Amino acid sequence: MSDYTVAELENIANKLRLHVIEMTYAANSGHPGGSMSAADMMSALYFSFLKHDPKNPQWEDRDRFVLSKGHVAPVLYAALAESGYFPVEDLISLRKIGSKLQGHPVRGKVPGVEMSTGSLGQGLSMACGIAMAGKMDGKNYKTVCMLGDGEMQEGQNWEAAMFARQNGLNNLIAIVDRNRLQITGDTEAAVGLEPLPEKWKACGWNVIIIDGHNMRQILEALERASRSSNVRPSVIIMKTIKGKGVSFMENNAGFHGRACTAEEYPKAVAELKELIQ
């Protein structure tokens, strides 16, 4: 899966965004804003970086991905479907009664979902456990955990960060989607996170800061993080735009947890289709 070009990965990211808009509109609910800010990284992960097999989701030597900010399940489902874990046609069933595609990821319901998440602040602790198990079992798989910046306000993350360094989990990569908006608005107006890189460094992590919409930077950061030669885990802080790809959704906290209206929907679809080659 690593043979995709940068242009192809960018194209896939915009397909994921289009799926997000279609899914949440059909459900008339969901979390499109943070899904769209994470789409470039999700494309890089599932179509270039992660070692995984859609035909064998429980492959013992697969890399593990934990979506700590579980409310952006739409972009995870889109990446899994486009990867071949289940039919793309199933995406439209998001949040419907009887659908396996719940509003937050549920392990055991959807192939490829490693952990049930959505109670924010817990994903990194889960990822630490998975990474430590890999060390204990002598496995060389990587564990990747994506966090929202709003959930970084919760103390459990920092306990997990200290634990990871203490136990030399250099097989663990954290990714912070730093779009600077949460459901109430600006993260810094709620509980300020800055200086965020220095906080991670103080916990003993390798810190990599990138533009989360620059595919080359994303791929280079993932490769650099995976090659950590010391006992430190690595964190990629990606500066992103909430609602990326649709002009009226970008940097708009109102789209944290609501779908497009009937009037907005065709405009969003048209803008994203313009980006897809």
pLDDT of residue 230: 78
Name the phi and psi angles at 66, rounded to 5.
-115, 120
Tens of pLDDT, residues 138-152: 999 999 999 999 999
Residues 33-42 have a mean pLDDT of: 98
pLDDT of residue 240: 98
pLDDT of residue 231: 83
pLDDT of residue 277: 85
Tens of pLDDT, residues 213-245: 999 999 999 999 998 767 899 999 999 999 999
Cα(65)–Cα(52) distance, integer angstroms: 10
DSSP helix/strand/coil, 236: strand
Fold of 6-275: Rossmann fold (3.40.50)
Give residue limits of the domains in the chain.
6-275
At residue 161 the predicted structure's pLDDT band, cuts being 50, 70 and 90, is very high
pLDDT of residue 32: 98
Cα(35)–Cα(198) distance, integer angstroms: 26
At residue 115 the predicted structure's pLDDT band, cuts being 50, 70 and 90, is very high
The answer to whether 234 touches 225, Cβ cutoff 8 Å, is yes
In which residue are the tokens 């242009």 written? Answer: 7
Tens of pLDDT, residues 61-113: 999 999 999 999 999 999 999 999 999 999 999 999 999 999 999 999 999 99
Residues 262-273 have a mean pLDDT of: 98
Using omega within 30 degrees of 0 as the cis cutoff, is the peptide bond preceding 195 cis? yes
Residues 241-255 have a mean pLDDT of: 98
DSSP helix/strand/coil, 274: helix
Predicted TM-score of the model (pTM): 0.97
Tens of pLDDT, residues 179-212: 999 999 999 999 999 999 999 999 999 999 999 9
Tens of pLDDT, residues 6-32: 999 999 999 999 999 999 999 999 999
At residue 2 the predicted structure's pLDDT band, cuts being 50, 70 and 90, is low
pLDDT of residue 3: 86
